[in-house]
Structure 1
Amino acid sequence: MNDMNPNPGHATPVLPDAQTVTQVTHWTDELFSFRVTRPASLRFRSGEFVMIGLMGDPDPKTGRAKPILRAYSIASPAWDDELEFYSIKVQDGPLTSRLQHVKPGDQIILRPKPVGTLVHDALLPGKRLWFFSTGTGFAPFASLLREPETWENYDEVIVTHTCRNLSDLEYGRRIVEALRADELIGELIGDKLKYYPTTTREDSPTVGRITDRLRDGSAFADLGVEHIASETDRAMVCGSLAFNLEMKEVLEGFGLEEGANSDPKHYVIEKAFVD
């Protein structure tokens, strides 16, 4: 199936703000990532998101099709020549039901106006940075982990990723495990990196919701680190709405204050979602 060309035998139409898919990887039945060409004019900060999408079906009355667009965090770092995205597959989702079928050579729509709060500029200087994510919320951290500034700014970076099953962690695990061998940032990382994946449905070395493990202190014990404190710790959060709200409560319980691009503080939360 190829949603990009609904008329077999006809040339694929050129889309507005079109970029070409260069690579697609299906990690599970519900998760996939893909890379696309990068507009020459696009400048963004690692951790930001853009609007991407496909053309919808033509309107029966007018015959015109409208684009279906959603906010997607850019998973590749700001220095990459291409753009990478990490997505769920929703069979009846307006966009992902189509997007999951793209192949190299297909086109997607990309609006080159990056925005977002998961950027270094939105945090006050600190010693330790936490990345808290669930599911495809790992995407902006895939970008930030490959950004030299992350490792230059902090003495320690702790990456947490909570998913239902072990297979759902694979995308993030591979990125984390490849960091030290990265020619650009490998030497910067040293012993700064700690990775803490957990599962909530399938048995794994660490089972449980990260919010629960922060509250009961088991996450700190497992990692061998001190509890979160506003004097030293900074955090970025990206996941479901429920997760984001719960993490907000947890972090503020440790005395952290939420920041923004215009008002840097101790932690930031991404508020953009895909279907």
Structure 2
Amino acid sequence: MPETAAPATVGNSEFDRATALTPHEPGVYGIDLPEGWTIFGALNGGYLLAVLARALGETLAHPHPFTISAHYLSASRPGPATVRAETIRTGRTLSTGQASLFQYEADGTETERIRVLASYGDLASLPDDVRTTAKPPAFPPLAHCVGPDDAPGSADHQPIADRVLLKLDPATVGWALGQPSGKGESRAWFGLADGRDADPLSLLLAVDALPPTVFDMGIKGWVPTIELTAHIRALPAPGPLRVSTTTRNLAGGFLEEDAEVWDSENRLVAQSRQLARVMQS
């Protein structure tokens, strides 16, 4: 029998290669954004956030994003890009910085795609004390959840689907059968397809990886992110993550989407909120 490939490791995985930066000068990095992290031709917002977070991690005095807010100014496309990062302030426990990603238009004009403001610290140095009323989402084991390959009919296969493990709670996929619940919920097991364990950067991908909650509200179409703020609360334990996303208010064509990410030890390791716009098809 053929040997099973060993899982990828942090620092040696497709995700790490896809977010790797080439330093040009202090605070300036180059990257060739790969097509493999796209959905319907657009680069995933969580993946792009991880790219900028990596640049800040290589620029600031502290290693981990504690809070990071991104404004998506224009659509990013696969191909060459430049990331510029700078330190705003360095303190004893936190460093604050900002970063932007730029690409060139066909006429040679440099265009800013994303701008980020973030505070970094050391998650490994945090105390173990936890006092919370938050509870991990309850849904079936991974083997009883459904992924893109289980979709009925001839669903469009997207490149990013080959790079992530995404198994959705059956209770939140009625929209795929024409029976949305109307609750604005999505829940799933999440991981990287090559078996790489989660770290703070891949948590930024996790908060923006599930199908848009508006699907569960009976609305189809493109849902571009306007702004996304993520809080990384702890270093995640090895194993798949559980992610839940909810929307409580869709008004004027805009919605908020809140995400929670829980690790295999039932710890809340990441939270996010984004404002997105519904572009109905």
Question: What is the TM-score with the length of structure 1 in the denominator?
Answer: 0.29
More helix per residue: 1
More strand per residue: 2
Structure having greater relative contact order (Cα 8 Å, sep ≥ 6): 1
